[in-house]
Structure 1
Amino acid sequence: MENNQNLKELVKQRYSELALNADEPKGCCCGRNPASPSKKVFTIMSEDYTNLKGYEPDADLGVGCGLPTQYADINKGDTVVDLGSGAGNDCFIARAEVGESGRVIGIDFSPKMILKARKNALKRGYTNVEFLEGDIEEMPLHDNTADVIVSNCVLNLLPQKNMIFKEIYRVLKPGGHFCISDVVLNGIFPKEFTDNAAMYAGCIASAIQREDYLKEIEKADFMDIRVERTKTVLIPDEVLYEHLDEDTIRKYKSGNVGIYSITVTGWKP
């Protein structure tokens, strides 16, 4: 339990620094460690949101690994919850889908991110978008609140993955569904790779096997589970050499392993 809390604090620190540096060139959740001296910025998994209705450039921190709202089947009047809402990017896109009659709720565990997202909503006069500070494993929401839950490159960062989809199930209304873009692995990675703190905060080492990820969704009793999109994630050598020693890199490259971004949907009966 203490180790899980330490990992969460590591990620919270990384994203708090990202919020403070949001006006700098965009990185991604698998880019540089803000505490490191490197000034290089990598966009390993970030997606192009610019053509989506509701897109707000100053709310896009470049940390996503997919476009979950594109596959979320959001309708006018829906209540949408975004897990790990950051500066509000996916929330504002969801707002364009739900219209004035709908509601969008963003949840994030970084107080600095919540503050930034609220400022972004306030200056646009959005009255049906709100941002709540809280843990995804224990959402500050009542049962059966949401029609749709979305999340973008966040759940893989949380240590207690067995709790996440059960909590999503609780908050969804009967007949509701989720659409989540996330990072998954295939194959056995070197222990030195998965134990590396910087790679963990960068959302690679914290990811689990694709098969195990989908099993957690099944165990939470979701139905009609579909992988809507799969995208291979390639880590530049510059990132590897910044955080790992040569022996670990050699083991990683010689292993039969893969890193993927998947967008998956599932329905609550």
Structure 2
Amino acid sequence: MTTTTAEDLREEVRRRYAESARAVTEGATGSCGSGSCCADGETDASSFGEALYEAEQRNELPGTAVLASLGCGNPTAVAELREGETVLDLGSGGGIDVILSAKRVGPTGTAYGLDMTDEMLALAQRNVAESGVRNVHFLKGLIEAIPLPAASVDVVISNCVINLSTDKATVLTEIARVLKPGGRIGISDVVAEDRLSPAERAERGSYAGCIAGALSVSEYVAGLEAAGFEEISVSFTHQVADGMHGAIVKARKTESPESKGLPVIQPAQTAGCC
């Protein structure tokens, strides 16, 4: 029996998203099936991709950015981005959410896109150039090791990418690290009902199809709490398979006493110590 490792799964995801980027570049609609998120026909096509964006938003974007949309939601619609903020999109793909974010935060703000796939990064750069936005920077890397300094980002968004990671605890910890105290997340992801075991999730679709690796609601909440988040909510938006849903995940990084303007209480010194 062949054992599938975490690196095998990551390479499968990388390969299939690279194929999708090449297909869009060559004028097709994608090679992962019309349903986006590289689904294999296990899920309804209308649950993923460009259909989840308003026509007005799609009209703001280059056509290839829309065609390359592989997500399960629209995180820019829920992240409440503000002028001048710094936003990071994890798994930025063809750049649709980075471009929309850059427009929302304006010229005084910054939008970063992080992706591990060369083909997607090249497509995204082309789409950004066509869109005319200037406040965008793309980074190559893994969402488990974000190449940005600590406390450098106001908002982290992501569109159906965290479910693809094989080390979600590290991803959530990394998100907390790069966020400023009080910073927030607005994430679209596939999330399972608590009644489904990991094996039952895997029966409903593949890992690269954004199904088998999905967290349950309680797992998502526990992971965010462990990473230092508060005000956590996980809200289902639409069903993508039996017991599996597109969802909006929101939370805020716990603020330090200093950021709240509160005095920092130092531990009492023991007599004769140090």
Fold equivalence (TM over 0.5): yes
Partner AA of 2:115 in structure 1: D
Partner AA of 1:264 in structure 2: V
- Structure 2: distance between partners of 1:171 and 1:221: 12
- Structure 2: distance between partners of 1:212 and 1:71: 21
- Structure 1: distance between partners of 2:210 and 2:7: 16
Which residue number in structure 2 is paired with residue 70 of structure 1?
A: 77
Equivalent pairs counted in the alignment come to 239
- Structure 2: distance between partners of 1:62 and 1:174: 31
Q: Using structure 2 for the length normalisation, give the TM-score.
A: 0.80
Gaps of 5+ in 2: 256-274
Which residue number in structure 1 is paired with residue 12 of structure 2?
A: 10
Partner AA of 2:56 in structure 1: N
Alignment check: 8 A CA contact 1:54 1:96 kept? no
Q: CA deviation at 1:71?
A: 1.1
Q: CA deviation at 1:190?
A: 7.8
Alignment check: 8 A CA contact 2:18 2:119 kept? yes
Which residue number in structure 2 is paired with residue 28 of structure 1?
A: 36
Task: Sort the Cα spacing of 1:191 and 1:230 in 2 relative to 1 into closer, same or farther, 3 A.
Answer: closer
Alignment check: 8 A CA contact 1:30 1:199 kept? no
- Structure 1: distance between partners of 2:46 and 2:18: 19
Match for residue 230 of structure 1 among 232, 236, 239? 236
Q: Please say if 1:50 is aligned against 2:55.
A: yes
- Structure 2: distance between partners of 1:182 and 1:7: 18
Which residue number in structure 2 is paired with residue 120 of structure 1?
A: 127
Q: CA deviation at 1:208?
A: 2.0
Report the secondary structure of 2:206's partner residue.
helix
Alignment check: 8 A CA contact 1:54 1:94 kept? no
Q: CA deviation at 1:189?
A: 5.1
Alignment check: 8 A CA contact 1:69 1:94 kept? yes
Alignment check: 8 A CA contact 2:69 2:93 kept? no
- Structure 2: distance between partners of 1:134 and 1:115: 14
Which residue number in structure 1 is paired with residue 248 of structure 2?
A: 263
Alignment check: 8 A CA contact 1:82 1:91 kept? yes
- Structure 2: distance between partners of 1:179 and 1:151: 7
Q: Using structure 1 for the length normalisation, give the TM-score.
A: 0.81
Partner AA of 1:32 in structure 2: D
- Structure 2: distance between partners of 1:72 and 1:105: 15
Alignment check: 8 A CA contact 2:83 2:104 kept? yes
Q: CA deviation at 1:152?
A: 0.4
| 1:116-159 deviations in Å (ceiling 9; x for gaps) | 11111123333211111100010111111111110000000001
Partner AA of 2:90 in structure 1: L
Q: CA deviation at 1:192?
A: 7.9
Q: CA deviation at 1:30?
A: 5.1
Task: Sort the Cα spacing of 1:168 and 1:54 in 2 relative to 1 into closer, same or farther, 3 A.
Answer: farther
Q: Please say if 1:184 is aligned against 2:191.
A: yes
Q: Could you tell me the percent identity over the aligned residues?
A: 36
| 1:211-265 deviations in Å (ceiling 9; x for gaps) | 11121011111011123x4123244xxxxxxxxxxxxxxxxxxxxx500111011
| 1:69-123 deviations in Å (ceiling 9; x for gaps) | 1111111011110000001000111111101111100000111101111111123
Which residue number in structure 1 is paired with residue 271 of structure 2?
A: none
Which shifted more, 45-54 or 153-162? 45-54
Q: CA deviation at 1:54?
A: 4.1
1:150-161 to structure 2, matched below 5 A, reads 150-161=157-168
- Structure 1: distance between partners of 2:165 and 2:36: 17
